[in-house]
Amino acid sequence: MSINYCEKERVFTLQTQNATYQMIVDSHGYLLHCYYGAKIERQNLSYCIQPQDRGFAANPPDAAGDRTLSPDTLPQEYSTFGVGDFRESCLDVRDKNGGVAADLRYGSYRIYPGKKPLNGLPAAYGNEKDVDTLEIDLRDEVSGLVVTLRYSVFAQWDVIARSAEIFNRGTGVLILERALSCCLDEPVPASRDILTFYGRHMGERNLERMPLRHGKFRVDSMRGASSPHYNPFVILCDSAATETAGNCWAFSLVYSGNFIAQAEVDQIDTLRFVMGIAPQNFSWELKPGASFQAPEVLLCFSDYGFDALSNRLNGFQMQHLVRGKYRTERCPILVNNWEATYFDFDEERLLALAREAKEVGIEMLVLDDGWFGERNDDTTSLGDWFVNRQKLPDGLAGFGAKLRALGLQFGLWFEPEMVSPISCLMEQHPDWCLHIPGRENVTSRSQCVLDMGLSAVQEYLFERMSGLIREAKLAYIKWDMNRSITNARSMALPPHRQGEVWHRYILGVYALLERLLNAFPQLLIESCASGGGRYDAGMLYYSPQVWASDNTDAVDRLKIQYGNSFGFPMKTMGSHVSVCPNHQTGRTAPLETRALTAMCGSFGYEMDLTQLSDVEKKQIKAQIELFKHQWQLHQLGEYHRLTDAQNDRWFTAWQVVSEDKSVALVQLVLLAPRANAPVLSVRLRGLQEDAVYEDDGGTRYTGAALMKAGLALPPMRGDYSSIQIEFQRLL
Ligand code: DGJ
């Protein structure tokens, strides 16, 4: 059992393979945080908590003159506002008198093998062998509020899944004005950096690292989706941590809506980190007997740097978060018609594309935007999920049958959460769209947002989508979401409950996704939000493939995929080979390099294959063969970032290794060719030191040599030229 409670000392200890997490219930019933870091056994770590009179601190009524007892200076396991802790709170609760306070003290605990699902929310899963769960109830005697903190320990992966459920066990209505998911207070000062992943449309997941200073540093989203701008995945680390050394902690919110992640260094140099649903414009009415479930946060720890951290967290997500057959199976190699045709297609053009696709070995055609209503550009018809017979005279069923006759599967694009002002749906149901009476809606890409919290909206979308999935025998849908939310007001809620709209929206999205997956368990859903605008652990629960960016330029993709690799499994990353000059950047890169980059993720093509030369077709055929042979390594192997793809100037290199260390691939893309260049070399990782590996040219090296002395490559020439080297361990 990875969870221990010492009754005598009132200490809870969670042990994973390489980490220890410890809390203590103090003599006043505060649940205090002792330690989270590299593994320590048989030790009560509460000596790290040193209560002191910090001068004019707030003391609770039961302090009885003890000025060292203050929630403001003690490391809290779940912080609240109103009773003396002035740092960032997890919980703000307003009672019927208007007062905001919650004084949480220890009540009881339960430990059990396994893990329960979270009501209506995505969450990590596991059976009794994989995970143990600790639940701790904290109570506020005055209001009757109970907070259940849950810690599910996946020891093998060094992951603890934390969440909080808030119950109203009192007699009056309570209003939650914030309800975050987790708090981590370090009792002793340490010099820490934070790594965040900021971005923009077509430039997602840029890693930024900075030292934490006094004050608060936050990334967040108030856009309704987790957003490309900041990601709900961050890392804290020792200031000296590197890819291969040092303590680091990952925090990934299993949620796809508004969020905050905030680190605060306080007056006595200690760190508080909090994460959860963004409190701005959030409120939730909690009637007596009701509860509110805050989303889960995945905590992962490594004392060997970011490389081990990513491999643990990403391996964990593939085993215990991603679901369905594509967790382990290869996703079909697809061609998407978006960059091939945009809105300008008819059945003939699509079938020509399909024939070429089949010829080169592609397995599925994905029909993107523009197949429905009157949609010939992006200004109309969202919501009218009825096929446009001018483009597809035999409907989707007929078109799908033609694809299947060619030997291809059929995938289809939807943007379910949206409605165009010019659409039949808007005419029929203007109230289904989020809007503020008396105020004209703000549009973005000429579209408005449906109120996904409404059951009528969910019903309509389920009926339309499931009908089409069945009728056209769809193997795949691309679920797009192309705008941030404004006018967030729902007709279903009274004025004083409009703070619930944002969260109810996401719950509605999750409910529809879940319902579709229950109805069609084999369906592959690729999530997309103008590219990688909703790439988060929440979506991974429904969607084993996420379109990483609308930027298909291979050289830019190296950076985006590098950023993603810190917190998201490579297999989940939708990645396509597109045409040159690239549509987003105008850059030209060799076809091999474009393929090598796309093979990092769930591989596909997004180009007009009818325009290819015979030589290019041959190359593509070979790429597809190669990917079919190598996909397990690329997608399920250990992944190592050998260079800093966002800052290194000359080349980018990465490596994948099979679980048993018998095969490794090194990939390198030359960013800037140089005359009379210094030797290109990289140090490999994750090999067996004492084994001998042979590369595809027959040269032999020991694992130790490749990892310590490194691999030295012959000179390379040409813009963005690339190389892949395979190493096989000799018996
Ligand atoms: C945005 C997506 O990211 C693209 O791949 C494409 O599907 C367009 N939407 C279609 O409108």
Q: Which atom of ligand 1 is nearest to the CA of 528?
A: 3
Pocket test for ligand 1, best of 413, 477, 553 (most atoms within 8 A of CB): 413
Q: Whose CA is nearest to atom 2 of ligand 1?
A: 530
Token pair 């907070």 in the structure block, residue: 147
Distance 408 CA to ligand 1 centre (A): 22
Of ligand 1's atoms, which has the minimum distance to the CA of residue 529?
A: 3
Token pair recorded at residue 588: 């030209």
616: helix, coil or strand? helix
CA distance 134 to 154: 12
Distance 381 CA to ligand 1 centre (A): 15
Q: DSSP letter string over 404-446?
A: HHHT-EEEEEE-TTEE-SBSHHHHH-GGGB---TTSPPP-BTT
pLDDT of 9 reads: 98
- 530 CA: nearest ligand 1 atom: 3
Q: Enter the pTM of the model.
A: 0.98
What are the C-alpha distances in Å from 680 to residues 489, 557, 696, 712, 713? 57, 22, 18, 6, 5
C-alpha 162/C-alpha 249 separation (Å) is: 14
Q: Which two tokens stand for residue 75?
A: 């490391």
DSSP 118: P
> Which of 375, 547, 575, 602 has most ligand 1 atoms within 8 Å of CB, for mutation?
547
Segment 7-13 long-range contacts (CB within 8 Å, at least 24 positions apart): 9/44, 9/46, 10/106, 11/44, 11/46, 12/109, 12/134, 12/136
**Residues with a known catalytic role:** 480, 550
What sign does the dihedral 400-402-403-407 (CA atoms) show?
Answer: positive
Locus of tokens 């990513």? 310
CA distance 642 to 419: 44
Name the residue among 530, 527, 478, 538 with its Cα closest to residue 503: 538
Structure-token pair, residue 41: 């056994």
In angstroms, what is the span from residue 4 Cα to ligand 1's centroid?
49
Neighbours of 659 (CB within 10 A): 13
Pocket test for ligand 1, best of 412, 477, 530, 578 (most atoms within 8 A of CB): 530
Which ligand 1 atom minimizes the distance to the CA of 368? 7
Q: What is the 3-state secondary structure (H, E, C) of 345-407?
A: CCHHHHHHHHHHHHHHCCCEEEECCCCECCCCCCCECCCCCCECCCCCCCHHHHHHHHHHHHC
Residue ID of nearest Cα to ligand 1 atom 1 = 530
Whether 378 contacts 446, CB under 8 Å: yes
- In angstroms, rounded to a whole number, what is the distance separating the alpha carbons of residues 271 and 264? 6
In degrees rounded to 5, what are phi and psi of residue 163?
-155, 170
Q: How far is CA 699 from CA 689, 704, 705, 713, in A?
A: 17, 15, 12, 12
Strands 409-414 and 364-367: parallel
Q: Which residue has the tokens 């399920």?
A: 636
Residue 362 C-alpha to ligand 1 middle, in angstroms? Answer: 21
* pLDDT given at position 258: 98
CA–centroid distance, 288 to ligand 1, in Å, is 45
Distance, in Å, from the CA atom of 25 to the CA atom of 372, rounded to the nearest integer, reads 60
Q: Which of 201, 341, 342, 482 to mutate to test the pocket of ligand 1 (most atoms within 8 A of CB)?
A: 482
Q: 228 is written with which tokens?
A: 């490309």
pLDDT at 731: 81
Pairing of strands 215-221, 182-185: unpaired
Q: 364 alpha carbon to ligand 1 midpoint, in Å?
A: 18
Burial grade of 119 (CB within 10 A; 0-12, 13-18, 19 or more)? exposed
Given the CA of residue 547, which atom of ligand 1 is nearest to it? Answer: 3
As for ligand 1, residues whose beta carbon falls within 6 Å of it are: 338, 368-369, 413, 480, 482, 528, 530-531, 547, 550
Phi, psi of 309 (to 5 degrees): -60, -50
Q: Residue 302: what pLDDT?
A: 98
Residue 697, both tokens: 């040219």
Distance 530 CA to ligand 1 centre (A): 6
Angle between helix 591-598 and helix 614-636 axes, rounded to 10 deg: 30
Residue 238 token pair: 């020792």
Pocket test for ligand 1, best of 202, 338, 342 (most atoms within 8 A of CB): 338
Q: Which of 550, 575, 576, 606 to mutate to test the pocket of ligand 1 (most atoms within 8 A of CB)?
A: 550
Q: At what angle do helices 591-598 and 554-565 cross, to 10 degrees?
A: 20
DSSP 6-70: ETTTTEEEEE-SSEEEEEEE-TTS-EEEEEEEE---S--GGGG------SS----GGGTT-TT--
Instruction: Using the mean position of ligand 1's atoms as its centre, give its distance from the Cα of residue 102 in Å.
Output: 45
CA–centroid distance, residue 480 to ligand 1 (Å): 7
| Residues 453-456: contacts with CB under 8 Å, at least 24 apart | 453/490, 453/492, 453/493, 453/500, 453/501, 453/504, 453/505, 453/507, 453/508, 454/490, 454/491, 454/492, 454/508, 456/429, 456/432
Nearest to 177 by CA among 87, 253, 81: 81
214-228 in b/e burial notation, b at 16+ Cβ within 10 A? Answer: eeebbbbbbbbbbbb
Atom of ligand 1 nearest to the CA of 378: 11
- Beta carbons of 680 and 648 less than 8 angstroms apart: no
Angle between helices 455-471 and 395-406 (to 10 degrees): 40
Q: Cα(632)–Cα(663) distance, rounded to whole angstroms?
A: 11
End-to-end CA gap in the chain: 38
- For residue 260, give the H/E element and its range: strand 259-265
**200 CA to middle of ligand 1, Å?**
15
- Helix, coil or strand: residue 584: coil
Residue 1 confidence (pLDDT)? 86
* Beta carbons of 483 and 436 less than 8 angstroms apart: no
Supply 689's token pair: 């030191």
Q: How far apart are CA 459 and CA 718, in angstroms?
A: 55
Cα 492 to averaged position of ligand 1 atoms, centre (Å): 30
User: Tokens at residue 548, please?
Assistant: 């990483």
Q: What is the CA(534)–ligand 1 centre distance, in A?
A: 13
pLDDT beneath 50, residues of the chain: none
Q: Tell me how far apart the alpha carbons of residues 502 and 4 are, in angstroms, rounded to a whole number.
A: 38
- Nearest residue (CA) to ligand 1, atom 10: 369
Distance 482 CA to ligand 1 centre (A): 8
Distance of CA 594 to the CA centre of its chain: 25
Give nearest CA residue, ligand 1 atom 9. Answer: 530
Domains of the chain in start order, with CATH, are 14-19+75-320 (2.70.98.60), 332-419+458-484+521-636 (3.20.20.70), 651-729 (2.60.40.1180)
Taking CA atoms, 626 is separated from 205, 596, 726, in Å, by: 28, 10, 12
Neighbours of 575 (CB within 10 A): 25
252 bridge partner residues: 233, 298
